[in-house]
Structure 1
Amino acid sequence: MSEIKRRASHEPESEKPSRDVIFQVLGNQRRRYALHYLKHYENPAEIGPLATRIASWENDVPAADVTSQQRKRVYNTLQQAHLPKLNETGFVEYDAAHGLVELTDRAEDLDIYLELVPQNSLPWSEYYLVLGCVSLALTTVAWLDAGPLAAVPPFGWGLGLAALVAISGAAHRYYHRNVRLGHAEAPTDAE
């Protein structure tokens, strides 16, 4: 167990953060990048490599090509503003003396807000609404023994609709997993 975790485990768990606090924290791209890094890469992390990776994402260059000025600019704002803010809200434990930062259990409260919705993404709620309406219409037509749909037995309709819902759920799960912050190597808005 890391030194940061040992200290955090002795502190009482406070109430869940308000939506205003969450939106304020997530309203800054560097803080989102820091959270992404901590979720995907090292946890705990040293502030130096964290600053380098964030600078590479911001400047759209490989980490090896980040200049000292780009790294320093990110390092300073992380050290002076962003990591203290994340620490103050309880989403990370930031040890400024040792330059270490680590996610806390409270960071899990951010997961629902960190789901990224890329442009032209599939609106799943609308998809399931249409799926339900089509299923209802097909079931009604089959129940009325109308047209060529009457040739399919009721068990076939049930099996077909169940398979369609299962496949849709699996596709949704796969899609949802791939757009979460911390899943990919680079945050979606950095690609």
Structure 2
Amino acid sequence: MATTGESQPAQSRPGDYDTQSREGEIFDLLSNQRRRYAIHYCKREETPVSLGDLAEHVAAWELEKELEEITSAERKRVYTSLQQSHLPALEQADVIEFDDRTVELTDEAAELDVYLDIVPGDSVPWGVYYLGLTAVGAVVIAGVWLEVVPTGTIPELGWATLVFALFGVSAVVHVVQNRRMRIGKTERPP
């Protein structure tokens, strides 16, 4: 039996539960492609959007068609789904404000960016890339210390600068790619 002076285990602290609950809610929201497309369109437009325009764009992206090629039945199917299911779920999570005809992102939508780090299927995850770069750097620095790497043409400080520069260039590329692949930054959702 717990007394007032005892601390609670980490997994049962109220703050931890709230954080885990919110993260679970966010992952649940983002697990649906139609909701991600809706968020993408709203972020891209940066102003309140009409439900009709949103439905049209989401339908075009889902069906991989141009806007002009979407039939009224395809548009209506997405419109109804957004209106009855997806937008109320996003509104309940305080990600959007929805008044039956217009949709607008809330300030809470900015917190979704951390969960939407998109890695293209043909690329190496950045964590693995930096681990490999660290291994290469460690081999070079160890080689300099053990005098296996020639320091005649490139001095020791030059090798260290080269490793540092590789990390710097990699970090810049990483930041640029993440900004480019962020939801709401491209014409079509990533």
Give the structure-1-normalised TM-score. Answer: 0.83
Please, which of 116, 126, 129 is the counterpart of residue 128 of structure 2?
Answer: 126
Matched-pair identity in %: 42
- CA distance 1:180–1:136, shift in 2 (3 Å): same
Distance 2:51 2:21 in 1: 25
Instruction: Encode CA deviations 1:20-49: one digit per residue, 9 max, x unaligned.
Output: 111111121111110000111242111111
Q: What is the CA–CA distance in structure 2 between the aligned matches of 1:117 and 1:130, rounded to whole Å?
A: 17
Could you say which residue in structure 1 is the equivalent of 2:23? 19
* 1:68 equivalent in alignment to 2:72: yes
Structure 2 CA distance for aligned equivalents of residues 43 and 16 of structure 1: 31
* Residue matched to 1:144: 146
Q: Does 2:25 correspond to 1:32?
A: no
Which residue identity lines up with residue 85 of structure 1 in the other structure?
A
Measure, in 1, the Cα distance between the counterparts of 2:91 and 2:149.
65
Q: 1:107 aligns with which of 86, 106, 109?
A: 109
Amino acid at match of 1:67: T
Question: 1:164 — aligned with what?
Answer: 166
Look up the SS of the partner of 1:61 in the other structure: coil
| SS of the residue 2:103 aligns to | strand
Q: TM-score, normalised by structure 2?
A: 0.84
Q: Give per-residue Cα distances to partners, 1:73-118, cap 9 Å, x unaligned.
A: 111111111111111110001111xx11100011112111122223
Output the CA distance in 2 between the equivalents of 1:72 and 1:29.
17
User: Does structure 2 conserve the Cα–Cα contact (< 8 Å) formed by 1:141 and 1:149?
Assistant: no
CA separation in 1, counterparts of 2:82 and 2:98?
11
Could you list the runs of 5+ residues in structure 1 that have no partner in the other structure? 1-14
Q: Which amino acid aligns with 1:118?
A: P
Q: Secondary structure at the match of 1:18?
A: helix
Structure-2 separation of matches of 1:160 and 1:119: 29
Aligned pair 1:135/2:117, yes or no? no
In structure 2, stretches of 5+ residues that fail to align are 1-18
Figure out how many residues of one structure are paired with residues of the other and give that number. Answer: 173
**Structure 1 residue 16: deviation in Å?**
9.3
Check whether the contact 1:17–1:89 (CA below 8 A) recurs between aligned residues: no
Q: Measured at CA, do residues 147 and 34 of structure 1 come closer, stay the same or move farther in structure 2, by a change above 3 Å? A: closer
- Please, which moves more after superposition, 50-59 or 137-146? 137-146
Given that residues 86 and 92 in structure 1 are in contact (C-alpha distance below 8 angstroms), is that contact kept between their aligned partners in structure 2? yes
Query: Is the Cα contact below 8 Å between 2:119 and 2:125 reproduced in 1?
Result: no
RMSD: 1.9
SS, match of residue 84 in structure 1: helix
